[in-house]
Amino acid sequence: MKCINLSSEEKLKEAAKSVFLKKGFAGTTARDIADAAGMNIALTNYYFRSKEKLFIEIFRDLFQLYCTNTIKILEKPIGLEEKIIEIIEEDYRMMKEEPTLVLFIMTEIHRDCENLLPELSKYKELLNGILIKQIEDAKKNGLVRDIEVEHLMPIIMGSLQFVFVGKNMHRKMYGLSEEDFDQFTETHKNHVIGMVTNYLFRSS
């Protein structure tokens, strides 16, 4: 029976994704999306029933993009220091690919946390369950500083992601071109690696 043309539906979804990423839910109109896709205004509702349903679908995808690869690294059977470096490298790669993603995620969760993160606790388990054990083991052996994962992760994510959250502010403040900014974030990432590993493994 219902055999939706994936080409049109996905074209619309891709357009919506890029507009939502740029302007957020409140700042985006159905016409913005239709225009960006080069399609008729009615098609948003034909394929996705409403602007909000389309948004939620896209948000889920983007939240996956934000988390999934990091979680995969957490599950890898490698040493703690190597793992943390890989997490930072992966996080950096993800933001270089989609520089507005972090601010988008934070803004929309702030706007409508309950609807957008109904089952977040599973992420908590995935994100921390594995790492906690690894860190506890290292602590017992005196190889690592005494810090909870609940603080370590925001320190890593924060010090790294913040330059992307405030991309426009940093670009304007330091007068950076797009290329300059790329260079800036890469150097920054290396400082983060240095600081975090130093604090965890080589501090006095």
Partner DNA sequence: ATAAATTTTAAACAACCATTTAAAAACTTC
Partner DNA sequence: GAAGTTTTTAAATGGTTGTTTAAAATTTAT
Alpha-carbon span 26 to 107, nearest angstrom: 10
Alpha-carbon span 20 to 108, nearest angstrom: 10
Q: Which of 1, 114, 118, 203 binds DNA (CB under 7 A)?
A: 1
Per rule CB under 7 A, count of chain residues that contact DNA: 22
Q: 37 Cβ partners below 8 Å, 6+ apart?
A: 11, 12, 14, 15, 16, 43
Nearer to DNA, 24 or 166 (CB): 24
Answer yes or no: are the C-beta atoms of 68 and 91 closer than 8 Å.
no
Q: Which two tokens stand for residue 93?
A: 């790669």
CA angle 12, 182, 70 (to 5 degrees): 65
Q: Which two tokens stand for residue 139?
A: 């602590």
Q: Least distance in Å: CB of 56 to DNA?
A: 11
In the complex, the residues that contact its own copies under the rule CB under 8 A are: 23-24, 26-27, 100, 103, 105-107, 109-111, 113, 117, 120-121, 123-124, 127, 147, 150-151, 154-155, 157-163, 165-170, 172-175, 184, 187-188, 191-192, 194-196, 198-199, 202-204
Amino acid symbol at 17: K
Q: Least distance in Å: CB of 113 to its own copies?
A: 4
Contact between 43 and DNA by CB under 7 A: the answer reads: yes
Contact between 42 and DNA by CB under 7 A: the answer reads: yes
Which residues sit at the interface with DNA, rule CB under 7 A? Answer: 1-5, 8, 28-31, 39-46, 49-52
